[in-house]
Amino acid sequence: MSETPSVTWETALRDAYLQGRANVFLLHGAVSDFQWHPGGGFISLWDAVAELLGRSRSFVVSVDGAGDGTISHAETPAVVRAALAWARPGTRDASDVMAGGSIVLLPALGRLLSAPAHPCGVVVHQAELLLGQSMDLSTRVAVAKVRRWLDEPRIRDTNNVAVLVVDDIESLSPLLARHPRLFPICIGLPTPAVRVAALRGELGDRVIDISDARLTLATHEQSLADVASLCSRLASVSVESIAKHFPNTSDEPDGDLPVSAEPALESTDV
């Protein structure tokens, strides 16, 4: 199996963007699960999204549920300052916008998203806290600002992408959740290839002699949070005895097996 296997949600997002189907996406489902990054180990979904968007953009802005922003994957501080000064005239420091709350940040991001000269990505995690179904004034204003991102046709002429991350679509304001230009992608369980890559990346030479099939069976239908927990437990197990924690699949195909065929893992508590 590949050391850097494809990730289902990442492939769906990239394909939809490259085909011109969407610039604003909604990730939902198992969004609290870890993602695997070869250079960073187990990371959050929103960090993985920021890393993806940052590969081909000048910077990425991540917005939390309180409406505060942080900048990552920036080419240079000067690039960020110039972009924010254009989006919000009079801005002298990025913190003026990032810490300005949703009433300042969201309109500025809306301008940036429609500007080809300032390639950027935006990730809103825990979006249900900022853009939920509450009828209070601050939520309604925030929803209206983000709806403009979807209504703005010029965003399709840019390299810019925005991604909203929520546990459940129903927790998001229907003005956004039902918008025809919002592209939903459901986050499910990691593929066998991703689970194996995570195990090999974390455990290294400790599992070098254990086949992909055995690693796959041991983590059948598990989340990456489960895999991370397994790796943590196995960190204190001797190299000589680590193999017994992975069932033998010498007569089985290399891939996921039915749940009924999956043996229970032995306890690795010490």
User: Based on the domain organization, do 244 and 163 belong to the same domain?
Assistant: no
Phi/psi region, residue 90 (left: phi>0; alpha: psi -120 to 50; beta: rest), is: left
For residue 254, the model assigns a pLDDT of 44
Q: Is 140 exposed, middle or buried (0-12, 13-18, 19+ CB in 10 A)?
A: middle
Beta-strand relationship, 161-165 and 59-63: unpaired
| CATH number of the domain bearing residue 33 | 3.40.50.300
For residue 239, pLDDT over 70 is answered with: yes
Domain match, 176 and 225 both: no
- Report how many domains make up the chain: 2
Q: Is the pLDDT of residue 262 over 60?
A: no
Residues 163 and 241 occupy one common structural domain: no
| Same domain? 149 vs 212 | no
Using CA atoms, how far apart are residues 152 and 263, in angstroms rounded to an integer?
53
State the pLDDT confidence band at 255, using cuts at 50, 70 and 90: very low
Q: Of the candidates 149, 163, 70, which has an alpha carbon nearest to the alpha carbon of residue 114?
A: 149
266: pLDDT strictly greater than 70: no
- Alpha-carbon gap, residue 241 to 237, rounded angstroms: 7
pLDDT number for residue 5: 87
Is 149 in the same domain as 236?
A: no
The domain boundary, picked from 187, 219, 242, lies at 187
Residues 12, 83 share a domain: yes
Query: In this structure, are 180 and 204 located in the same domain?
Result: no
> Residue 231: which domain range?
192-261
Taking only the tens place, the pLDDT of each residue in 166-220 is 999 999 999 999 999 999 999 999 999 999 999 999 999 999 999 999 999 999 9
Mean pLDDT of the chain: 90
What confidence tens digit (pLDDT) does each residue in 34-87 have?
A: 999 998 899 999 999 999 999 999 999 999 999 999 999 999 999 999 999 999
In a domain, 236, yes or no: yes
